Chains A and B, each alone.
Chain A
Amino acid sequence: MTDEVELSLPAKPELLSLARLTVAALASRADFDYEEIEDLRLAIDELCSPLVGQTGRPGQLRLRYLWDRSWLEVSCTIDDEPTNSPPGRSVSSTRPEHDEGSLGELGSFGSLGADAGEQELSDRILDALVDEHGSKTDGSTVQVWLRKRRPGTGP
């Protein structure tokens, strides 16, 4: 049986902490340990921040938290307002623009490569912290999601 919590909040960056709080509360009840709860807090932030951006956007961010005996899954949806952004890149275009440049200018940057930016950092974080994550765009609706296996359940 799957339980579900829905959270709807304005797509404002100052409110993303609510998404983090909610996943932490649910994860603690799903027997995730402290480290895994912190992982999920960060993962949900990395998942939703690009949809909101630094200045926010019109509309509501809708999160669905689902869990069953094996998985905790969170999906986040926003109805993308028509903008001048290129089709299919509305999520990534909300990344704040500042002087991040190429991290490769710092010299050796380990496994991230010479041109890693914030999006690559975010992808790297999600890859490390959850079992699955993805995104899809359906018309003006952008959906991102993640799944993490519950403790004590094998692959």
Chain B
Amino acid sequence: MEVSFAHDEQQGVPVLSVGGEIDVYTAPRLREHLLELALGGTNRAVVDLTDVTFVDSTGLGVLVSGLKRFREAGGDLVLVVVQPQILKVFEITGLSDVFRIHSSTGEAVAS
């Protein structure tokens, strides 16, 4: 049920891997890690949600805030989403038209 985070880098692009459930309780930790990404000196990063099993509107709001920060810096925050129920949440909220979403970290890094 808890949330997990791991920072990595692929082809010079920071990758934040998230696992578990992102809800009103765990979303602040996601915000902290996204802020860490933004302050890391790059304006482009990937958030890998492959192992996320649950995300609610609070989690989506944090991701949107992160996206805004990166785009205001002239860059982007790209997502990796694999689980159908997670992708569904982005689709029904229209956020699949806002974020660039890929099905693998390799694709996201190369995009």
A: residues with CB less than 8 A from B are 13-14, 16-17, 20, 35, 38, 41-42, 45-46, 49, 52-54, 96, 98-101, 103, 105-106, 108-112, 116-119, 121-122, 124-125, 128-129
Contact = CB atoms under 8 A, between A and B. Distances in A.
Interface string B59-99: 01110110110010000000000001100110011110110
Contacts, number: 95
Contacts of A13: 23-25
Name B's interface SS.
helix
11 contacts: A13-B23, A16-B24, A45-B23, A98-B31, A98-B62, A98-B65, A110-B97, A119-B57, A121-B61, A125-B56, A125-B57
Interface of B: 1, 21, 23-25, 27-28, 31, 54, 56-58, 60-62, 64-65, 67-68, 71, 84-85, 88-89, 92-95, 97-98
Contacts of A20: 54
Nearest to A106: B98
Q: Is the interface of A mostly helix, strand, loop or mixed?
A: helix
A128 B71 CA distance: 29
A54 B57 contact: no
B61 A52 contact: no
Contacts of A16: 23-25
